[in-house]
Amino acid sequence: MLNGNIENINLLLGEICDPEIPVLTITDLGIVRKVFEENNLFIIQITPTYSGCPAMDMISMEIRMKLIENGIKNFKIETVLSPAWTTDWMSENGKKKLAEYGIAHPNKFNNVDAGPKECPQCHSANTILISNFGSTACKALYQCNDCKEPFDYFKCH
Amino acid sequence: MINRILNLADNNLILCQRNGEWCGHGPILEQDIAITNITLDLLGQARLWYQYASTLMNVDNNSYSEDSLAYRRNEREFLNILMVELPKGNWGFTILRQYFFSQFQFLLYSRLKNSGDTTVAAIAEKSLKEISYHIKWSSEWVLRLGDGTDESHEKMQDALDDLWPYTGEMFIAANFENEDECNELKIEWLQKVSPLLEEATLNIPENTFMQTGGKSGIHTEHLGYLLAEMQYLQRAYPDAKW
Ligand SMILES: [Zn+2]
């Protein structure tokens, strides 16, 4: 008999936060792809956001710690690359939390990146791109033309 | 097959080490962050290739790892093209090299994405999304600097004159490459690069002798110094871990 069950593991994974954007969990981000049971092992498949994302090793470690703390020992973490991670997998709840945290969430129009919908501070739609690369690979830097506040935009990927 | 993967990994790692020299020294903060973010993508891709190469190489035992491939091979064992090991030069040189490389990577990986080897295909697919950003960013800068002030134009033209002799190697087939495919890549690459250079008011040098050797392990004098710095810690303290 295996200790724990898939439902329970999914709940636990939903408590793990991204180390760089702590308001989002790894399930909000779509990093956890699949949890299943195979030959008396739970297989947890995760996918990296960007290839060079330095948070991935830490996320693996946190999954390991979380499950062990909760008495689950028979598991293996696998990294899958295909299909490649996309911001389309970000949960609606995740997008809401991002905006509240001060980061504009990914915004697509006609399937292309349309830039931030609004300034996360004053909600003005009048914003300007400062740099395509922000504080991390997944973000761009924008500024609001109304409240003048600079802010991060989580790019469509 | 292993050499093919090592060549892909080495190209990325060595360019990554070079670009990394800009960290904290970029012309303005936003662009310092941009080049280092791009470099982080290159490193991530290199890690995926090294991890795959090490699983292919570990037939009898587990003596290879991504770290041993990056930190314990000698100069002659590196199969990167010469262009990526050249010193970082000025900002214009770095930008132009990144553009040439990203554009090449994009075309090559677009083919690898259809590889029958599912790992190769997956790494290529994943990387392509990142490479598209790199092309966008570097091409905008090539335009801005080439068609910019007299001084920026002159520096970009110098960079082009210096870099061009190193672009041919990308398309000269090594023993792990297919000659027809290299020729096709060259045509596609020139179709992409030439109009941009023209728009940036830069002139491609004519009748250039193309430097080669990197893909068979014969490098410029610059690689040894680069490796000495990059590999120092693992050479001095083998298997040191974080
Ligand atoms: Zn605002």
Same domain, A15 and A31: yes
Residue A50 belongs to a domain: yes
| SS3 state at B160 | helix
**Interval B15-66: pLDDT, tens:** 999 999 999 999 988 899 899 999 999 999 999 999 999 999 998 778 899 9
Residue A72 located in a structural domain: yes
Of the three residues A85, A103, A134, the one that is the final residue of a domain is: A85
Q: What is the pLDDT of residues B61-119, one digit of tens each?
A: 788 999 999 999 999 999 999 999 999 999 999 999 999 999 999 999 999 999 999 99
Same domain, A80 and A22: yes
Confirm or reject contact between A72 and chain B (CB < 8 A). no
| Same domain? A48 vs A115 | no
Residue A98 located in a structural domain: yes
A72 with A96, same domain: the answer is no
Question: Is residue A32 domain-shared with residue A96, that is, in the same domain?
Answer: no
Q: Are residues A27 and A97 in the same domain?
A: no
Q: Is residue A101 part of a domain?
A: yes
A118: left (phi over 0), alpha (psi -120 to 50) or beta: beta
A106 and A46 housed in the same domain: no
- Range of A60's domain? 6-85
Where chain A has pLDDT below 50, the residues are 1
| Structure tokens, B149 | 């002030």
CB proximity B95 to A under 8 Å: no
Establish if A83 touches chain B: CB-CB under 8 angstroms: yes
Nearest to B137 among A48, A80, A132 (CB): A132
From B165's Cα to the closest Cα of chain A, the distance in A is: 30
Q: Please check whether residues A12 and A75 belong to one and the same domain.
A: yes
Where among A85, A110, A142 does a domain terminate?
A85
Q: Domain boundary at A44, A70, A85, which?
A: A85
B contact test, residue of A51, A138, A154 with most B CBs within 10 A: A51
CB within 8 Å: A81 and B126: yes
For residue A17, being part of any structural domain is answered with yes
d(CA B93, CA B239): 35
Superfamily of domain B2-236 in the CATH hierarchy: Ferritin, core subunit, four-helix bundle (1.20.1260.10)
Task: Tell whether A78 and A102 lie within a shared domain.
Answer: no
pTM: 0.91
Question: Which residues of chain A neighbour B39 with C-beta distances below 8 Å?
Answer: 52
Q: Are strands A103-104 and A150-154 parallel, antiparallel or unpaired?
A: parallel
Q: How many domains does chain A have?
A: 2
A55 with A120, same domain: the answer is: no
Q: Does A131 touch chain B (CB under 8 A)?
A: yes
A132 to B127: CB separation less than 8 angstroms, yes or no: no
Q: Tell me if A51 and B33 make a contact (CB, 8 A cut-off).
A: no
Residue A1 lies in a domain: no
What is the Cα–Cα distance from A55 to A98, expressed in whole angstroms?
17
- pLDDT 10s digits, B169-198: 999 999 999 999 999 999 999 999 999 999
Q: Residue B29's pLDDT is what?
A: 86
A134: chain B residues, CB-CB within 8 Å: 33
From the list A53, A84, A130, the residue facing B125 with the nearest CB is: A84
A81 found inside a domain: yes
In a domain, A74, yes or no: yes
Other beta carbons within 10 Å of A33: 15
Q: Are residues A94 and A81 in the same domain?
A: no
